[in-house]
């Protein structure tokens, strides 16, 4: 008779707290929660715009409230952190070559930052012109 | 004069233990002592009942993978000197069932490796008279690092997605698909795309990235999987324009 009795270790819900690498991963992915909430907030703004001026002004009041502003700053910081981690990982998802040489990872990362700066500048120009 | 390291090992003897228990040993070591050497010392001098796997002692057979202070490592490639002043905790590779002590049951991993057709597939059989198949350095660079895998299973122990649901094909097998699909000698990509496209394929990966950190051979499974996602997305679009298939 076989004496085999393989033991399976349970993976508990707090597995990501046991290792700093996994903790940073969960923090990175956790940004999706605040970004989702932020998107709902913007959609609510669009909806209130269709409901007339007073409705939109109520929404403007809502997003100018100190607690909402703290949330927006948190969303910004968390999103920037996510962007940083993604830019660092981006070269893994690209297999780019120039002739016989692979495009250096740093070029891809720098191109991502340049694109972010370009888009941000464009946004600011549209906002203030 | 040799230093002494306290090593705690998670023991599991299926005939007597209901669940794994920690057991400590004091092991003398010097600058050259690897964890595998230390396990040999315990087996020879302190406790012959300890079970662990090993073969080559030079990071090529992939047998001695284990958790060293919570990190997947090859016992032959980790040295006691790097843990001086602390305690060493050894445990069987995470995410695999423990067979006995530091030995895990890898059959699921091996079955996955075999299932993805990890060999060169040609449409027309070639004979010796056809001569060598040449490749440019650039063509070889597309797959070379992914062919360095020694099937040690460290990347599976590092992957929480595999730990949470072992239906996920996992890092090494997906990297191996990438290795063959990107070899100019191979013509089996169409046969392997189904393994990439399925839910348990590349899309089961959430890009934690730890697989590439722990690989003892410098393979980058996370990159292979992300490039697999690009291939899978392209394949999906192409299939849309091929009605009836």
Task: Report pLDDT digits (tens) over B156-201.
Answer: 999 999 999 999 999 999 999 999 999 999 999 999 999 999 999 9
Q: Per residue in A28-79, pLDDT tens?
A: 999 999 999 999 999 999 999 999 999 999 999 999 999 999 999 999 999 9
Q: Which CATH number is associated with domain B3-104?
A: 3.10.20.30
Answer yes or no: do B160 and A102 touch at CB < 8 A. Answer: no
Model pTM score: 0.93
CA angle B12, B8, B88 (to 5 degrees): 135
Q: What is the spatial distance between Cα B139 and Cα B147, in angstroms, rounded to a whole number?
A: 13
Q: What is the spatial distance between Cα A55 and Cα B89, in angstroms, rounded to a whole number?
A: 62
**A8 interaction partners in chain B (CB closer than 8 Å):** 97-98
Q: What is the spatial distance between Cα A116 and Cα A127, in angstroms, rounded to a whole number?
A: 16
B226 touching chain A per CB within 8 A: yes
Looking at CA atoms only, how far is residue A88 from chain B in angstroms? 11
Most A-contacting residue of B71, B163, B202, B209 (CB-CB within 10 A), to test interface = B209
Q: Is residue A2 part of a domain?
A: no
Predicted confidence at residue B126, as pLDDT, reads 85
**B99 interaction partners in chain A (CB closer than 8 Å):** 4, 6
Domain that holds residue A108: 95-129
CATH of the domain at A71: 1.20.1300.10
| Average pLDDT over every residue of B78-99 | 97
Looking at CA atoms only, how far is residue B145 from chain A in angstroms? 13
B98 touching chain A per CB within 8 A: yes
> What six digits make up the tokens of B54?
């090993």
Answer yes or no: do B222 and A92 touch at CB < 8 A. Answer: yes
Q: Which CATH number is associated with domain B107-240?
A: 1.10.1060.10
Is the pLDDT at B212 greater than 80? The verdict is: yes
CA angle B115, B222, B165 (to 5 degrees): 55
pLDDT band at B83 (very low <50, low <70, confident <90, very high): very high
Taking the domains of chain B in order of start, what are their residue ranges? 3-104, 107-240
């Amino acid at each position: 008779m076989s004496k085999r009795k393989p033991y399976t270790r349970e993976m508990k819900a707090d597995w990501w707290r046991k290792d700093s690498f996994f903790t940073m991963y969960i923090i990175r992915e956790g940004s999706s929660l605040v970004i989702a909430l932020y998107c709902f907030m913007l959609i609510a703004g669009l909806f209130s715009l269709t409901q007339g001026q007073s409705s939109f002004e109520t929404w403007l009041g809502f997003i100018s409230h100190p607690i909402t502003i703290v949330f927006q700053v948190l969303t910004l910081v968390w999103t920037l952190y996510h962007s940083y981690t993604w830019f660092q990982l981006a070269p893994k998802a690209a297999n780019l070559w120039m002739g016989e040489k692979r495009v250096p990872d740093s070029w891809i990362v720098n191109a991502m930052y340049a694109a972010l700066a370009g888009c941000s500048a464009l946004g600011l120009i549209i906002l203030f012109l | 004069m040799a230093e002494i390291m306290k090593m705690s090992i998670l023991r599991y003897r299926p005939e007597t233990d209901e669940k794994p228990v920690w057991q400590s040993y004091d092991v003398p070591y010097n600058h050259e002592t690897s964890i595998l050497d230390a396990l040999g010392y315990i087996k020879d001098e302190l406790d012959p009942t300890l079970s662990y796997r090993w073969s080559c002692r030079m990071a090529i057979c992939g047998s001695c993978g284990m958790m060293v202070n919570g990190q997947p490592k090859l016992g032959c490639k980790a040295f006691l000197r790097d843990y001086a002043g602390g305690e060493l905790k050894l445990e069987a590779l995470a995410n695999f069932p423990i067979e006995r002590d530091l030995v895990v049951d890898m059959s699921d991993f091996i079955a996955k490796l075999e299932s993805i057709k990890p060999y060169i597939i040609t449409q027309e059989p070639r004979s010796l008279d056809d001569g060598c198949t040449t490749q440019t350095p650039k063509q070889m660079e597309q797959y070379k690092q992914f062919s360095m895998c020694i099937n040690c299973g460290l990347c599976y122990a590092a992957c929480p997605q595999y730990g949470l649901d072992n239906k996920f094909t996992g890092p090494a097998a997906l990297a191996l698909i990438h290795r063959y699909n990107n070899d100019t000698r191979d013509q089996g990509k169409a046969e392997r795309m189904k393994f990439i496209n399925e839910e348990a394929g590349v899309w089961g990966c959430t890009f934690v990235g730890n697989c590439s950190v722990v690989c003892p051979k410098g393979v980058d499974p996370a990159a292979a999987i992300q490039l697999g996602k690009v291939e899978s997305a392209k394949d999906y679009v192409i299939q849309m324009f091929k009605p009836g298939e």
